[in-house]
Structure 1
Amino acid sequence: MATVLGSGHTTLAQLRRILFQHDTVALDDQALQRVRDSYRFLTSFTQDKLIYGINTGFGPMAQYRISDEDQLQLQYNLIRSHASGLGKPLDPIYTKALMLARLSSLLKGYSGVHPETVELLLAFINNDISPAVYEHGSVGASGDLVQLAHLALCLIGEGRVKHDGEWKPTELVMAQHGLQPLTIHLREGLALINGTSCMTGIGLVNVLHAQNLLNWSIVASSFVVELVRSYDDHYSEELNAVKQHYGQRYVAAKMRQLLRVSRLTRKRDEHLYDHKVTETVLTDKVQEYYSIRCVPQILGPVYDTISETLKVVMNEFNSVNDNPIIDAQRQNVFHGGNFHGDYVSLAMDKLKIATTRLSMLTERQLNFLLNDKLNQILPPFVNLGTLGLNLGMQGAQFVATSTTAESQTLSFPMYAHSIPNNNDNQDIVSMGTNAALLTAKVIENTYHVMAVHLLTLVQAVDYLQLADQLTPPLRAVYTELRALVPTFSADDIMHEKLNLVVQHVRTRQLRFEAVPFNQPAPYEEAEFDKHVA
């Protein structure tokens, strides 16, 4: 199935299909015509005019005029000199998202590139040719110059690409698919590397994973509610309706759906209101710990932050973000700073903090389950074996605790950490790709914490013999996890069990019912609910 790009506002649903369901991409005919028109206009407009990045140097070197015979070599020099990235290559999912973001920007028809550029980018995407793009290099201000230079390097047939699971010379893979290296016609080098496509691509994948983690956290929290036979009013409509935050109401509604037919949760009126309580000291908790009772209030801001981040990332994806802007319709060229990544940088920092908060909630719920003095219903470390001889989930807790601590440290905002560079031409920068990559790390960390928590939860279900009493959606999740890791009481290599759960949580897209509200929904709420409906 092909998803057409360039015909209008690309949606989250379309991008999810391309990135995770392996849809191919097609180019809209009108978008291709815009690209042709932009290229033709720029070709004629540059005659006898001084245009930045075509017949001038770059950045602080723009004062140097470039001769006609050197203009094409200038573009090659730009690509090769800025292909300076270090560190690990980006995961192919990020590189694919990066290429989609760059393709989207070029298809708007404001970049002056030859149509060959977008057609070759399309071929790379559809043939799963993943350029070696390295994590270190961007300051996120003249765009993601270094990362996008590595993309451009591969488009001109140089560098390395990952294809069929192996790193290979680009020219070899292009020949295998009958592709010719990109020829520089005018300003293809600058147009390819001058934009926010790296941070936007990574940010897009981050948002999709953050949605997934939020869903898992709602499920895990609902598990805990059933295990401890909590009162049900803390996620009730009546209590949460008096707060005006959409995210809080959303999370509470999701919990009500998951726990709708619960046989384990309790009604406060039945236990505390409808008969006289005579005990001086109550054996049951009147109110649960905050990590159980305040889930809507804690995960609600996470939901709202994801929605806000989604709006920013999708707006950036659908924007033109290079410099200068080639406006064929107005017959002019406009210079400015659309390459600046502040929007994405700030959004990624917010998402990183929200995801860390989700991880902290998960770790606290886990600690509650593992500490028998707190929960008073489970053995220490949910140990289903012999106490003392066996260790249960004790070793796994160290992973969750240390990983959460790392995420807390990584949550310092990159947006507030500008360092001038480029001879002070770039005197305030966004660090947007750094922000996106750190958010990706926090997301990966949170998957690890969630895996420890989920494995502990199903062990607790078995100890309490509650599997048959779980609500149907929670029972379904329990069954899936048990198919991966059967009940265990003897000690074995925990890494193998946990890794199975990590991979399952990363790839399993949970399905909930959509939640209707009377108040206006956040941006693309329909897309969000479509993902979990």
Structure 2
Amino acid sequence: MIVLTGDSLTMEDFRRVVLEKEPVTLSEQAMKKVKETRAAIDGIVENGKIVYGVNTGFGKLSDVKIAGNEVKTLQRNLIFSHACGVGEPLAEEVARAMLLLRANTLMKGYSGVRPVLVEQLLLFLNEQIHPVIPAQGSLGASGDLAPLSHLALGLIGEGEVIYDGKRQPTAEVLREKQLQPLSLQAKEGLALINGTQAMTAIGALAFLEAEKLCRQCDWIAAMTLEGLRGVIDAFDENIHRARGHQEQIEVAGNIRRLLSGSRLVSKQGELRVQDAYSLRCIPQVHGATRQTLAYVKEKLAIEMNAATDNPLIFDGGEKILSGGNFHGQPIALAMDYLGIAVAELANISERRIERLVNPQLNDLPAFLSAKPGLESGAMILQYTAAALVSENKTLAHPASVDSIPSSANQEDHVSMGTIAARHAAEIISNTRNVLAIELICAMQAADIRGPEQMARETKALWEKGRSIVPPITSDRILAKDIAKMNSWLKSTADCAHDLVV
């Protein structure tokens, strides 16, 4: 059971709740502050004090005062008017993550919502009632307005949800489960949609997948080194300590461990003095991506526990301040960085694939084919990898360098952080397919070299891989093999077994 305090949610907690469906409860201590700030909002409404988003319009309409008897209508109107996302729905895991993250930020006690609103978020989360949230429509400031509005629709009994594997009207699901829709009070609509929970949810899930790929790409590259009789000296610890990047040192150490005892790798000068960069520079490239992930994880960990609402309430309501914590720039930059870093894993993997299939670059049968000429073997596997890598280059263009004014130029700089997060997630998906292709090719090369000569660790990976994708003994529909290998890489953590590298 994960307890939400507003301050202590970790990436591991996030994973357990979102992916493993671990139940969540609320901290009683933290709830005291939630109640205190709600009392402050109630006092503002009673006294008629003008506060943005409580009894004013929104954005450029913030100068319009709202009568006390219309503040509830104001909040409902806000959700309806802002729920204008388009495109395919975000994955259910993203909707779960958004429910979790929004509940956590409200538990910080700066937003002025009633406890029942946070409880409704957790009810949907724990009952696995996932709002249908269109993927497109957020500028990333004033937060993820459109996606979070679609999430809020579910809480008030509107829109659609995915429940029990089916897309259904929310009202029907609530009736079936004998649950009541939420009736929004002053400020609560704004408190639900002003924030970065869509980009952070997509980003955190993307990070978890990228972290997995960083482990897997070392395993796969090690097998490729055997298939190409790579020079092991390039991974000597002295080389990498001389430069000093810890992640580079770690990757080189991983490769040495994975290839320990291999009779397929070569020594400097045996077959060649040194390898091409895609083999020789594995620690430098993979290590740099790991460095990026450390930065991204730090920013996500902060944002998962951040107050991103506006305005925020301090000192029991004595101080109510309008600011810009909803602006997604920290996550936008981190997501662009993540996408670029993971794209590089695909770039170098595709170059290794080329070296495995190109007869001018190795001493293996052309395109790893059993009958070169009559059969094309792995030729078009490299084409697919090249296409994915090229697509990644387009997706890796930074979204955060763009901005466009909105709300009659009141909101004149935005982050595009949700676009950056979505692009990073797409790059990760493409990269997994590229690595799946490299693994298929590396296994084929290992078959030709002789699996009995492989290192213990890479042979274990080869054996597992061969239980998923059989050898290419004649031309067949390889799309099915890529899909199977991709699915396995997505479902497993470390490839061959539980050794963490």
Length-normalised TM-score, structure 1: 0.91
CA displacement at 1:531 relative to structure 2 = 10
Offset at residue 304 of structure 1 (A): 0.4
* CA distance in structure 2 between the partners assigned to 1:457 and 1:498 by the alignment: 13
Counterpart code for 1:380: A
Range moving further from structure 2, 19-28 or 353-362:
19-28
Distance 2:496 2:24 in 1: 29
**What corresponds to 2:490 in structure 1?**
506
Q: Distance in 1 between matches of 2:31 and 2:98?
A: 20
Pairing partner for 1:348 from 321, 335, 339: 335
Equivalent position of 2:383 in the other structure: 398
Distance 1:483 1:512 in 2: 11
Q: CA deviation at 1:328?
A: 4.3
1:85 aligns with 2:85: yes
Q: Distance in 2 between matches of 1:171 and 1:475?
A: 54
8 Å Cα contact 1:41-1:328 kept in structure 2: no
Range moving further from structure 2, 413-422 or 173-182 = 173-182
Match of 2:33 in 1: 34
Alignment of 1:220-299 (within 5 A): 220-268=220-268, 284-299=271-286
Give 1:23's aligned residue.
22
Alpha-carbon offset, residue 3 of structure 1: 1.6
Query: Contact (CA 8 Å) 2:6, 2:108: kept in 1 or not?
Result: no
Aligned-pair CA distance for 1:211: 0.7
**Count of aligned residue pairs for this structure pair:** 500
Distance (whole Å) between structure 2 residues aligned to residue 179 and residue 259 of structure 1: 57
Corresponding residue of 2:374: 389
Give runs of aligned pairs for residues 118-133 of structure 1, distance below 5 A: 118-133=118-133
Report the counterpart of residue 467 of structure 2 in structure 1. Answer: 483
Task: Give the deviation of 1:244 after TM superposition.
Answer: 2.2
Residue 294 of structure 2: aligned partner: 307
Equivalence for 2:187: 187
**Shift of residue 330, structure 1, vs aligned partner:** 6.3
Amino acid at match of 2:280: R
Letter in 2 for 1:23: E
CA contact (8 A) 2:251 2:287 kept: yes
Deviation at residue 20 of structure 1 after TM alignment: 2.4
* Contact 2:460/2:496, CA 8 A, preserved across alignment: no
Counterparts of 1:449-488 in structure 2, within 5 Å, are 449-465=434-450, 467-488=451-472
2:6, 2:305 within 8 Å by CA — same for their partners in 1?
no
- The structural deviation recorded for 1:470 is 2.1
The answer on 1:204 being equivalent to 2:204 is yes
Could you say which residue in structure 2 is the equivalent of 1:114? 114
Distance 1:175 1:471 in 2: 59
The one-letter amino acid paired with 2:10 is T
* Unmatched segments (≥5 aa) in structure 2: none
Aligned equivalent of 2:307: 320
State the alpha-carbon separation in 1 of the partners of residues 112 and 496 from structure 2. Answer: 45
Aligned to 1:278: none
1:374 equivalent to 2:394? Answer no
Deviation, 1:512, is: 9.6
Task: Report how far residue 380 of structure 1 moved.
Answer: 1.4
Return the alpha-carbon distance in structure 2 between the equivalents of residues 398 and 162 of structure 1: 37
Residue aligned with 1:459, SS:
helix
Q: Quote how far apart the aligned CAs of 1:497 are.
A: 1.3
Shift of residue 165, structure 1, vs aligned partner: 1.9
| SS of the residue 2:50 aligns to | coil
Give, in angstroms, the shift of residue 230 of structure 1. 2.3
Q: CA deviation at 1:458?
A: 1.0
Q: Does the CA-based 8 Å contact 1:110-1:328 persist in structure 2?
A: no
Structure 1 portions without partners, runs of 5+: 273-283, 514-529
State the percentage of identical aligned residues.
37
Cα pair 1:420 1:429 within 8 Å, conserved: yes
Quick check: 2:40–2:317 contact (8 Å CA) kept in 1? no
- Measure the CA separation in 2 of the matches of 1:22 and 1:498: 29
* C-alpha distance in structure 2 between counterparts of 1:177 and 1:92, whole Å: 20
1:431 to 416, 420, 429: 416
Distance 1:375 1:249 in 2: 28
Over 3 Å counting, the alpha-carbon distance change for 1:125 and 1:186 in structure 2 is same
CA contact (8 A) 2:311 2:320 kept: yes
Check 1:371–1:511 CA distance in 2 against 1; reply closer, same or farther (3 A cut).
Answer: closer
Tell me which amino acid in the other structure corresponds to 1:64.
V
Cα 1:472–1:22 shift into 2, 3 Å: farther
Q: Does the CA-based 8 Å contact 1:3-1:25 persist in structure 2?
A: yes
User: Matched residue of 1:314: which SS?
Assistant: helix
TM-score (norm 2): 0.96
1:144: which partner in 2?
144
Q: CA deviation at 1:329?
A: 4.0
1:344, distance to aligned residue in structure 2 (A): 0.1
After superposition, give the CA deviation of every residue in 1:87-144 in whole Å (9 maximum; x if it has no partner): 1100111111122211111111111111111111111111221111111111011000
State the distance in 1 between where 2:44 and 2:415 align. 32
Measured at CA, do residues 109 and 171 of structure 1 come closer, stay the same or move farther in structure 2, by a change above 3 Å? Answer: same
| 1:51 is aligned to 2:51 | yes
Going from structure 1 to structure 2, the CA distance change for 1:230 and 1:431 (only over 3 Å counts) comes to same
Instruction: Compare 121-130 and 65-74 and name the one that shifted more.
Output: 121-130
Structure 1 outlier segments of 4+, above 3 Å: 530-533
2:25 aligns to what SS in structure 1? strand
C-alpha contact 1:512 1:532 (8 A) present in aligned 2: no
In structure 2, how many angstroms separate the alpha carbons of the residues matched to 1:317 and 1:161? Answer: 24
Deviation at 1:375, TM superposition (A): 1.5
Cα 1:511–1:5 change in 2 (3 A) is farther
**Larger deviation: 117-126 or 45-54?**
45-54
